[in-house]
Amino acid sequence: MTNAFAALAEPMRQAIFERLAERPMSVGELAGHLPVSRPAVSQHLKVLKDCGLVRDQARGTRRVYRIDPAGLGAIRQWLDRHWDLALAAFVEEAEREVKE
């Protein structure tokens, strides 16, 4: 996947991410609450992990996944940067229309 945006764009990954936002969970537990198979959840977790959005921890035979706050931070930075740019352009455009 290219960036963290694309990772969270997928609806199923959003659902997984929201579940993990409540509390850390194992792969099987996630799959039990979602309408997809366990391998599918595992693949999604791999994508989220590569983007730095989640972290995994071996817990016996199970593998517990939790959210990595740093991942969301990167998205917020991107959004804030373009948020400011968009607002600046919007204000500038509004001022120009007033002069006309």
Q: Tell me which residues in 7-66 interact with a copy of itself (CB under 8 A).
A: 8-11, 14, 17-18, 20-24, 66
Kindly state the smallest distance separating residue 31's Cβ from a copy of itself, in Å: 20
Q: Is 86 in the site for a copy of itself (CB under 8 A)?
A: yes
> Which of 52, 55, 56, 74: binder of DNA (CB under 7 A)?
56
% helix, strand, coil for the chain, step of 5: 70, 15, 15
Q: Is 77 in the site for a copy of itself (CB under 8 A)?
A: no
Q: With contact defined as beta carbons under 8 Å apart, do 70 and 77 qualify? A: no
Helix (H, G, I), strand (E, B) or coil at 53: coil
